[in-house]
Structure 1
């Protein structure tokens, strides 16, 4: 179970990074459908993936699992810090 958590958190961390590039390259999005900004939603799911990546570290059996765990944590932590900065300065400028 923990090994699968490690694998899925890695898959979702790469999906969130790709989704960030898609959202940042598109134009303005109609917020009435989502109810909130896409960057805020992306920050929430990135933090959730970060927590599951930390829980998935218990499933490290070999060097592949360790590489997946550390890359998951690095990707999600970097993306969440970057999104926090974008949201913070976006609120300051608006």
Structure 2
């Protein structure tokens, strides 16, 4: 339940901060295609699927733009991605 609340809060914050770009729907089918390419049926425990080029920075929601990162790596990368997207948004 706490995780759900955290995800909802983060989604709302991203939507407010970045507008429609942050609300770009992530395709579960694309994530599944990426996992199949890696020979996996699901995301391994302790890992998360990451968009190499963030969607808010114009990255595509496709397997070619995805990678597996540990949860810690993903958290750190996401912080940098958010800064990058914020900067891009301010430059518009």
Please indicate the TM-score interval, normalised by the length of the shorter structure.
0.3 to 0.5
| Structure with greater proportional strand content | 2
Give the TM-score taking structure 2 as reference length.
0.33
More helix by share: 1
When Rg is computed on C-alpha atoms for both structures, the one with the higher figure is 1
TM-score normalised by L of structure 1: 0.32
Higher relative contact order (CA 8 A, sep 6+): 1
